[in-house]
Structures are given as C-alpha cells and as structure tokens.
Amino acid sequence: MLILGIETSCDETAVAVLDDGEGVLRGGAALRSNLIARQTDLHARFGGVVPEVAARAHVEALNPLLERALEEAGCDFGDLGGVAVTVGPGLVGALLVGMAAAKAVALATGAPLVGVNHLEGHIWANFLEHGPPRPPYVCLVVSGGHTLLVHMPELHRHEVLGRTLDDAAGEAFDKIARFLGLGFPGGPALDRLAREGDPDAIRFPRAMEDSGDYDFSMSGLKTAVLRYVRAEREAGREVDPADLAASFQEAIVDVQVKKTIAAARDRGVDTVLLGGGVVANSRLRERMLAEGERAGLRILYPSIELCTDNAAMIACVGASRLARGERTPLDVGADPNLRLT
Ligand code: KG4
Ligand code: ZN
C-alpha cells in the first residue's frame, strides 16, 4: 500500500511516498520518494524560525512538492492507500498548512487520514530501513524543539521518563553556534568545528548529571560558556573556537549518554533508539555507540538525512497506525503542544 506523508511542523516542508510492502512492521518497506524544501535562508537573517514566515513558505512550497513527490514515486493521487500528516507538536500555523493539504487529498481520494505525532515520527525514522526490532526500547529524542527520554514498552505506547527543563538540545547548539558566528541553524557547523578541537580543553558543568532523574537542563551550560569567554577576554587570553565548540558539545553529549544508558538499565531494556535533528551530531553518535555497546545495549540511529525533519518518518508511523485500523477524522485540529502518550 502507498502511504503519503506530509510534514510541516517547523521550517521544513516535506512530502514522502512510502510503499509499506508487507507492512512496515515486517521491514521491507520502500521509500518511493522523500522530498524536503528547506526554509533555512528565509529564517537565517532573523537568527531563528519566524512562525508567520514559515507558514507562508509552506503554502508556497507544498503543492509543487506534492506533485513532484507523486511523480518521483510513479503514482497518482488515486493510488494512495492512506495519508499521514503531522498534527503536532510544532508551530500551529505551519502545522495547519500541511494538515489542510492532507485533508484535501484524503477527501478527494477517499484514502483514510491518520494524524501523527512529530516526536513519534523521529523515533520511527529508525524503522524505515529495517522494520522495528522487538520492543521494549528506551528512546532519546533530541531536536531543535525537544529533548526527552521515553520508555516504549510496546509500539505506539510511550512513557516519558524525563525532558528538558529549559532549552532543547538543538536550541543550545544553535545559540552557542550563533555566539561563535557560525550562522543559523548552527548545530551542523558547530559539529564540524568541534572535530578540530579538544573536548577536554575546558571543563564545562554537566548539568543535572547526577540528579537521579531523567530531566535535562541546558541553560547553566550556556551561561557557563558565555562567562568563560568573557573572563578569558578580560584576562587578555585568546579562546580557541574549536576547543570551545568541542568542550561545549562534550558537556551536552556526556549527560545525554549517561542518562540514556541509566534509563535503559533502569527499565531493563536492551535496545536504545535515538531520534531527532541533534542525532545527526557525530560525537553523540560515536559516544552513544561506544558506551552503549560497552553497557551491552543495542544502539540504533537513523541515517543523517532521516534524523532531521522529514515526511518519510511520518508516513512510517502512519502506515503502522493505519494497519491497526486507526483513522483520524477530517475535522481534527492541530495541537502545537501535543504530548507523546
Ligand atoms: O529534528 P529537527 O530537524 O527539527 C526539530 O524538530 O526541531 O532538529 C533541528 C535541530 C537544530 O537545532 C539543528 O541545529 C540540530 O537539530 N542539528 C544538530 C546537528 N544537525 C542538526 N545539532 C548538533 N549537531 C549536528 N550535526
Ligand atoms: Zn523534528
């Protein structure tokens, strides 16, 4: 069955067509097309995503992208067996653009609609290539808007173990990257710069490392970086940007690795899934893999393109939910604060 996926929760307009083969749970699903129109340049001069600008850009990009996605997939609207769309969390105006399009396709073709939680999408990006391993899992979801640790006792069931108390991990990367003059969004550039630096050059605080829970906090680290640079400059010393980037990144990665492994042990699971844009970070992948394996855990993460926002992951969740008989009514609203349940 062919599932159309539509994702417009933030600043990426994304459309995918997924052939779920024997069903996504069996593996062997094939992406027929997976297109993304990024708005990075539009928002870069503001130093962050501007919600109204994002919504308007989705309106302009979506229809041509839909047509191209079907053309690349070699199918027509009438061939679709289901339509999956992100209904939250995200920017409400941005979400509504994708949802209006998805509802129109569902209404015109009679294909069933299924609303998908963006965060569940990030987790399911792991299953696109190989189908899901046997649950339970512990999942770390780290993106521009979210940082959370989730226990998944079974597919489509989530117990949130902890979350960030202030900034999301991606937000912290972006803010320090901007401070270093690396542009927006700066996560990938900071990752590249950090490869030339020494992660042990500066010992930044590991916030909430030993708090005994699964919550995170980024604001203290951010302040510590700014304070360090100010103090060094006042003392007339040069700060090596690569060392600063590597040391900051190490502080974030350290806490994420430690808490994720502790959560997996605590819940007695042997599989850990990573998802979200920050999982594109090379140091996080490397450390999580090495230390997870040392702890006897199986660590899975999606390929880099499937870590950041995309519609393939939304189609993947949608295919599984549709196969379970779930249907979302056409009058469903967007939920900017939708939680994982
Ligand atoms: O999941 P995503 O595409 O969008 C949201 O749902 O928020 O995540 C985007 C975030 C941005 O903050 C971006 O800077 C960060 O992921 N990011 C990275 C890397 N690639 C993307 N952060 C650190 N290292 C990277 N390589
Ligand atoms: Zn995302």
For the Cβ of 278 lying below 6 angstroms from any atom of ligand 1, the answer is: yes
Burial 206-225 (b: 16+ CB within 10 A, else e): bbbeeeeebbbbbeebbebb
Ligand 1 atom closest to 9 (CA): 6
The single-letter DSSP state of residue 26 is G
Q: How many CA atoms lie within 13 A of 206 on its CB side?
A: 14
Q: What angle, 0 to 180 degrees and rounded to 10, lies between the N-to-C axes of helices 241-267 and 282-294?
A: 40
Q: How many CA atoms lie within 13 A of 67 on its CB side?
A: 4
- Residue-level pLDDT at 285: 98
DSSP string, 186-248: -HHHHHHHHTTS-TTSS----TTTTSSSS-B--HHHHHHHHHHHHHHHHTT----HHHHHHHH
Q: In this model, does residue 321 exceed pLDDT 90? A: yes
- Residue-level pLDDT at 128: 93
Instruction: Note the ligand closest to the C-alpha atom of 189.
Output: 1
User: pTM of this prediction?
Assistant: 0.96
Instruction: Give the residue whose CA is nearest to atom 8 of ligand 1.
Output: 277
Q: In this model, does residue 157 exceed pLDDT 90? A: yes
- Range 67-73 average pLDDT: 98
Instruction: Give the residue whose CA is nearest to atom 24 of ligand 1.
Output: 281
- Range 169-173 average pLDDT: 95
- Range 139-161 average pLDDT: 97
**What does the longest C-alpha to C-alpha distance in the chain come to?**
69
- Range 210-214 average pLDDT: 90
Angle, alpha carbons 194-200-203 (nearest 5°): 110
Burial class for 134, CB neighbours closer than 10 Å (0-12, 13-18, 19+): exposed
The single-letter DSSP state of residue 12 is E
Angle, alpha carbons 168-220-46 (nearest 5°): 50
SS3 content of the chain, % helix, strand, coil (to 5): 45, 20, 35
For the Cβ of 143 lying below 6 angstroms from any atom of ligand 1, the answer is: yes
- Residue-level pLDDT at 99: 98
Test site for ligand 1: of 308, 309, 314, most ligand atoms within 8 A of the Cβ: 308
Q: Give residue 209's identity as a one-letter amino acid code.
A: E
- Range 41-56 average pLDDT: 87
- H or E element: which one contains 271? strand 271-275
Instruction: Give the residue whose CA is nearest to atom 10 of ligand 1.
Output: 144
- Range 39-60 average pLDDT: 88
Which pLDDT band holds residue 46 (cuts at 50, 70, 90)?
confident
Q: In this model, does residue 183 exceed pLDDT 90? A: no
Angle, alpha carbons 170-172-176 (nearest 5°): 120
Q: In this model, does residue 239 exceed pLDDT 90? A: yes
End-to-end CA, the chain: 27
Cα–Cα distance, 164 to 149 (Å, whole number): 9
- Residue-level pLDDT at 76: 97
Query: pLDDT tens for residues 84-133?
Result: 999 999 999 999 999 999 999 999 999 999 999 999 999 999 999 778 99
Q: In this model, does residue 44 exceed pLDDT 90? A: no
Q: How far is the CA of 36 from the centre of ligand 1 (A)?
A: 15
Cα–Cα distance, 162 to 155 (Å, whole number): 19
Q: In this model, does residue 73 exceed pLDDT 90? A: yes
The dihedral over CA atoms of 103, 340, 145, 204, expressed in degrees to the nearest 10, equals -170
136 in Cβ contact with 153 (< 8 Å) = yes
Ligand 1 atom closest to 276 (CA): 1
Question: Residue 288: beta bridge partners?
Answer: none
- Residue-level pLDDT at 45: 82
Instruction: Give the residue whose CA is nearest to atom 23 of ligand 1.
Output: 187
Q: In this model, does residue 136 exceed pLDDT 90? A: yes
Mean pLDDT of the chain: 95
Ligand 1 atom closest to 168 (CA): 12
Q: In this model, does residue 209 exceed pLDDT 90? A: no
Closest by Cα among 152, 100, 82 to 124:
152
Residue 199 backbone phi and psi in degrees, to 5? -65, -15
Residue corresponding to tokens 């299924």: 114
Determine how many CB atoms are found less than 10 A away from the CB of residue 312: 28
Q: How far is the CA of 277 from the centre of ligand 2 (A)?
A: 6
For the Cβ of 121 lying below 6 angstroms from any atom of ligand 1, the answer is: no
Query: pLDDT tens for residues 260-305?
Result: 999 999 999 999 999 999 999 999 999 999 999 999 999 999 999 9
Closest by Cα among 35, 48, 55 to 96:
55
Q: How far is the CA of 285 from the centre of ligand 1 (A)?
A: 13
